[in-house]
Amino acid sequence: MLRNVPIKRKLTLAMMLTGLSVLVLTSVSFMVYGVTSARRNLVLNLQILAEITAANAGGALNFDDSKAAEDILSKLQAEPTVIKAALYSRDNKIIAHYPQSVAEKDFPAVRQSQSPIFGYGVIEMFYPVRENERWVGTLFVQTDLSPLYVRFRLYVIIVIAIMAAAVTIIFILSQWLQKQISKPILQLADTARVVSEKRDYGVRAQGTGRDEIGQLTQAFNHMLNQIQEREEALRKSQRELQDLNRELEERVLQRTEELESTNKELEAFTYSVSHDLRAPLRHVDAFAQLAAEETASSSSQQLHKYVERIRAGVTNMGRLIDDLLNLSRVGRAEVVQQPVQLNQLVDEVLSEMKPETENRNIEWTIDKLPTVTCDSGLMKQVFTNLIANAVKYTRRREKALIHIGIEDVDGKPAVFVKDNGVGFDSRYSAKLFGVFQRLHRAEDFEGTGVGLAIVKRIMDLHDGTVWAASELDKGTTFWFSFKGLNPNSVKK
Amino acid sequence: MNTPIEILLVEDNPTDLELTLLALQKHKLANKVHVARDGEEALEFLFCRGKFDGRGFDAPPKVVLLDLKLPKVDGLEVLRQLKEDPRTRAVPVVVMTSSNQQRDMVESYKFGVNSYIQKPINFTDFQEIMGQLGYYWLAINQPPPAAAFK
């Protein structure tokens, strides 16, 4: 019922209720006691009055002296509470009454009981009158009860006044006390609210006392301390992490810039090589030939041979430059992935190689190859280099066999180019894909040792691999496999 | 000198110039050649200005043999200006260079070159190519009519 009432009001209410109930109980008992004692006093008073009057009236009654009796009664004037009084003779007839204005018939008949009787606003009693130990008549006295009422009313007024004062005092006191109790609680609640709303762990609840609320406040502040420390530690580590991140980003950026600049240099370098390195070669070749033409008439066979050597060297160097440029271009190439029919690439390569192959006895076996996702130009380069190798190293065969197909190798599809050429010693196969690595003498088979390196680079660009197996004088097989080759491409 | 210029050869390297002229001579084409030694001179000749302001746009060479690496104004720039101007756009241009760099080829074709030839290292091949080139552009190819240079 009081659950949602603020704690301040609860405390005030409790204190007020306690104070008021004590006050009401006290007042009621006080009133009861006061009224009772006043009543008793009134009765006692009446009794004393009756006793004294009865003692004085003994003689008058003994002699039926109504004049004397009335004299005695008239002395009751001194007592203003007396309303009326009467003296009865032994035969219960009124001898005298007071005051004279009241008629005799308004007096009650004699009763034997001496106990006081309470009437409406009055109290009355009968008292026996004796003379020399002998009963001579009866006295009747009636007094006013209004002093009792007056006193009662006074009591009520006093009680109300006290209550009002007490309530005010209790209220003020309870306000003060309530503040003593509720203030720290409210402050604690306020602090908790600020903490939870603003996530400000720097605020502290103020608590000075050593009571339970003080302890609670201390515990709360301690908890806030811990949270604040953790929060700060967290922030710090976050900041450190951010710093680290930024540093890392900067470093990546720096590296990227360095890389870009290196790349640019490399590009400028290859551009320059492409333009400037070939020009002098052309000149050497041209003048060698011109010299040969000049000396055409000369019979010096040796001179012609030398000129031929010069020109062969020039040709070789030119090829080397071309291959190197090619390799560097492949390394920096942007791979454009698109669906490519591999058989079409093979056909193109074969037709381009016609000049070298048409005078040879080569038996081609070309299987159906799939359409795959790859860079068309680069993949064509792979076929060109591998097929050119196969053609070159089968040169001494009476009948060259070259087989191009696809097969499953260790669960993944691989395209292969197989020949029955001279082969190589498999001990050196690790050198096979390195730049300028050759496994044959230049006078046996010409070449720069760049072709397979290019194949490997292209495979790297396609997330692929290339490998070979060979046996001297039996032949060589090259396999390559890359991401775009679908496992379903191998049909059995 | 009365023979009309049929070939404008733009070449800065004296050795290359000598060898090219030699190759042209072998095919009896050398006396119809005008040589420009850099890009600026080539532009002056083609746009009939400077020392060539007497020339008219209606008598351009039948073919321009253009090297790419040139002093002052490089070959690609010459090509670009040539192909941008309506008075010279129709002049056939053959780029002849040592390089087979993709960049050069792409740029040349984008600017509208008519042919791109990489000078072979082998001189015999080079002579052969020069003969074919001269024969094709001077004898086989129909040159643009005068109306094309306006």
> Which CATH number fits the domain that encloses residue A407?
3.30.565.10
Measured distance CA(A37)–CA(A41) in Å, rounded: 6
Q: What angle do CA A63, A64, A66 make, to 5 degrees?
A: 125
Give contacts of A289 with chain B, Cβ < 8 Å: 123-124
Six-digit token pair at A118? Answer: 């309470």
Residue A385 pLDDT greater than 90, yes or no: yes
Residue A358: exposure state from Cβ atoms within 10 A (0-12, 13-18, ≥19)? exposed
Question: pLDDT tens for residues A71-88?
Answer: 888 888 888 888 889 988
Q: Contact at 8 Å (CB) between A440 and A447?
A: yes
In the structure encoding, which two tokens stand for residue A222, read together? 């301690």
Beta bridge partners of A172: none
Residue appearing with tokens 């190689």: A353
Q: Is residue A376 part of a domain?
A: yes
Selection from A409, A390, A426 nearest residue A479 by Cα: A409
Enumerate the residues of chain A whose CB falls inside 8 A of the CB of residue B122.
Answer: 285, 311, 314-315, 318
Of all residues in chain A, what percent carry a pLDDT higher than 90? 22
Residue type, A66: S
Helix (H), strand (E) at residue A415:
strand A412-419
Q: Is B17 contained in some domain?
A: yes
Report d(CA B121, CA A313) in Å as an integer: 11
For all residues of chain B together, what is the average pLDDT? 88
Q: Residues B26-36: pLDDT tens digits?
A: 888 877 899 99
Residue A396 lies inside a defined structural domain of this protein? yes
B148 within a domain of the structure (yes/no): no
Q: How near does any CA of chain B get to the CA of A288, in Å?
A: 9
DSSP class of residue A468 equals E
Closest CA to A349 of A380, A389, A377, A319: A380
A279 at the B interface (CB within 8 A)? yes
Place of tokens 């492409």: A274
Task: Tell me the C-alpha to C-alpha distance, in Å, between residue A28 and each of A21, A22, A155, A158, A323.
Answer: 11, 10, 10, 12, 123
B144 assigned to some structural domain: no
The 8-class DSSP code of residue A397 comes to -
Report how far Cα A55 is from the mean position of its chain's Cα atoms.
102
The mean pLDDT of B69-80, rounded to a whole number, is: 89
pLDDT computed for residue A6 by the predictor: 81
* A390: amino acid identity, one letter: A
Closest CA to B68 of B100, B45, B20: B100
Task: Among A284, A285, A378, pick the best mutation site for testing chain B contact (most B Cβ within 10 A).
Answer: A285
In a domain, B2, yes or no: no
CB contact under 8 A, B123 and A270: no
pLDDT of residue B3: 55
Residues of chain A neighbouring B103 (CB-CB closer than 8 A): 271
**pLDDT at residue A69, rounded to an integer:** 86
* Number of domains observed in the structure of chain A: 2
pLDDT of residue A491: 55
Partners of residue B22 in chain A, C-beta under 8 Å: 286, 290
Q: Residue B48 region, left (φ>0) first, then alpha (ψ -120 to 50), else beta?
A: left
Selecting from A274, A279, A289 the residue whose C-beta is nearest the C-beta of B124 gives A289
Domain count for chain B: 1
CATH number at residue A121: 3.30.450.20
CA atoms within 13 A on the CB side of A188: 20
The answer to whether residue B149 is domain-embedded is: no
Q: Is A9 on the interface with B (CB under 8 A)?
A: no
Residue A285 and residue B103: Cβ atoms within 8 Å? no
Across the A:B interface, residue pairs with CB atoms under 8 Å apart total 59
What's the rounded Cα separation, in Å, for the pair A177 and A18? Answer: 14
Strand order in the sheet with B7-10: B33-36, B7-10, B63-66, B93-97, B115-118
Distance CA A279, CA A317 (A): 12
Helical (H) or strand (E) element with A185: helix A146-198
H-type alpha helices, A199-300: 212-272, 278-294
Higher pLDDT, A29 or A444: A29
- Full residue range of the structural domain in which residue B64 is found: 7-139
Whole-number mean pLDDT of chain A? Answer: 86
Residue A368 pLDDT greater than 60, yes or no: yes
Integer Cα distance of A117 and A107 in angstroms: 14
Contact of A43 with A115, CB cutoff 8 Å = no
pLDDT tens digits along A294-322: 777 766 778 888 888 888 888 888 888 88
CA distance B114 to B112: 6
Residues in a beta bridge with A66: none
Length of chain A: 492
Query: Is B147 within the bounds of a domain?
Result: no
Q: Among residues A129, A152, A168, which one ends one of the domains?
A: A168
Domain ends where: A168, A183, A204? A168
Close Cβ partners of A187 (under 8 Å, ≥ 6 residues apart):
A205, A206, A207, A217
**Sheet with A122-131: strands ordered across:** A94-98, A82-88, A134-144, A122-131, A117-118
- Is residue A475 within 8 Å of A416, Cβ to Cβ? no
In a domain, A123, yes or no: yes
CATH classification at residue B58:
3.40.50.2300
Q: Which residue of A lies nearest to B120 if distances are taken between CA atoms? A: A282
A440: number of Cβ within 10 Å: 14
Residue B2 has pLDDT above 50, yes or no: no
pLDDT tens-place string over residues A235-264? 999 999 999 999 999 999 999 999 998 888
> Does residue A42 lie within any of the structural domains?
yes
- CA nearest to A319, candidates B121, B16, B101: B121
**Residue A97 domain flag:** yes
Domain extent at residue A462: 333-489
- Tell me the pairing of strands B93-97 and B63-66: parallel
DSSP annotation of A63: T
Task: Give the ipTM of the model, two decimals please.
Answer: 0.82
What SS3 class is residue A470? strand
Q: Do you know the residue count of chain B?
A: 150
Residues in chain A closer than 8 A to B95 (CB atoms): none
Domain final position from A168, A197, A222: A168
pLDDT above 80 for B4: no
pLDDT in tens, B75-85: 999 999 999 99
Residue A480 reports pLDDT greater than 90: yes
For residue A452, pLDDT beyond 80:
yes
User: Is the confidence at residue A166, as pLDDT, over 90?
Assistant: no
Q: How many Cα atoms sit within 13 Å of A474 on the Cβ side?
A: 7
- In chain A, residues 303-322 whose CB comes closer than 8 Å to chain B: 311, 314-315, 318, 322
A195 within domain boundaries = no
